[in-house]
Amino acid sequence: MKYVILFLTDLLDPKAPDFEYIKEYQAAKKYFPVGLIDQQQLFEKNTVALNCPITQDTVYIYRGWMLKPGLYAKLVNFIQSRGGKMLNDLAEYEATHLLPNWATAGQNQLKTRWTSDLSDTSIRHLFQQFSGAVTIKDFVKSRKYEWDEAFYIPATSDTAHALRVVHNFIERQGTELVGGLVMREFIELKSLGEHPKSHTPIFEEYRVFYLNNVLLMIINYWTEEKITLSPKDKKLIQLAGKQISSNFCTIDFARKANGQLIIMEMGDGQVSGLQDYDEDAFYELLWENLD
């Protein structure tokens, strides 16, 4: 089976890869054929235009900015209509990209509730299902770098303040808001201090890539320190990936203050960042483990 990695073009130079993905593009070329998707055409005109032909018996893997499901569907349809195949079809993309598709009440996940109704009545109903502190996001993204203004709510019982934070979030997301509003319990995590630029709290977290439900790599999310995990941690991480209806995905794990590892987020592997992980190492692993 042949695999091709697709990147977005740069907005200022449609013949070059997106500036933010140049290192990945150069690393990927060492192991795979690569192609470019016209970013301006995709985001401004909702049309797919590639600089390479689509061939049969070829699997295409996208690496780039998050795509709303409707836009990803256009990419899938474009590839399939010409005889190719995306590594993740639309259902597999949505399985981890949209939080309601993966969030459960399991032991290793946070209490989570959501609504597509953004009226104050619906939002107040969410408040009533929690006690204490919560965080908010849409079905895909949060604004955690705006911690106090549009992400963290110290007490859902303080309805006036809580609504103000939610309204800030909705307004600032604007047309980028996906799906609706998600509310999650806030738990104490093992602190690593503050982010050097945003000064928001950072915690012990790991991003894990899975390929065909098998662990591919573990990234230390915030630091470059060597990763040391207990046998219990490793078992949790390995088993978590086996239950996901996706060929290529990520799970973000965080360490609770009591030492327990917990699932914080899931995402599609095509749109999950490498968090400063070595690009060459990533694509070598991907090349070695495909098929």
Q: DSSP string spanning 3-21?
A: EEEEEEBPSS-TTSB-GGG
**What pTM, to 2 d.p., does this model score?**
0.93
86 is written with which tokens? 């995306």
Segment (H or E) for 265: strand 261-268
Instruction: Establish how many alpha carbons lie within 13 A of residue 180's alpha carbon, considering only the half-sphere containing its beta carbon.
Output: 15
Q: Which residue has the tokens 């590892």?
A: 261
Rounded to whole angstroms, the Cα distance separating 190 from 255 reads: 6
Q: What pLDDT tens digit does each residue of the chain (291 aa) get?
A: 899 999 999 999 999 999 999 999 999 999 999 999 999 999 999 999 999 999 999 999 999 999 999 999 999 999 999 999 999 999 999 999 999 999 975 667 899 999 999 999 999 999 999 999 999 999 999 999 999 999 999 999 999 999 999 999 999 999 999 999 999 999 999 988 887 777 777 899 999 999 999 999 999 998 888 899 999 999 999 999 998 999 999 999 999 999 999 999 999 999 999 998 999 999 999 999 997
190 burial type by CB count under 10 A (0-12 exposed, 13-18 middle, 19+ buried): middle
Query: What are the E-state strand segments in 31-168?
Result: 34-37, 58-62, 85-86, 112-115, 134-137, 152-153
- Least Cα distance to 35 among 57, 64, 11, 72 occurs for 64
Residue 107: what pLDDT? 61
DSSP single-letter state for residue 173: H
DSSP single-letter state for residue 109: B
Residue 291: what pLDDT? 75
Q: Which residue has the tokens 């399991």?
A: 106
Q: Output 216-224 pairs: Cβ under 8 A, ≥24 positions apart.
A: 216/285, 216/286, 216/289, 217/277, 217/281, 217/282, 217/285, 219/274, 219/275, 219/277, 220/275, 221/252, 221/275, 222/192, 222/195, 222/275, 223/192, 224/276
Residue 201: what pLDDT? 79
| Cβ neighbours, 10 Å, residue 156 | 20
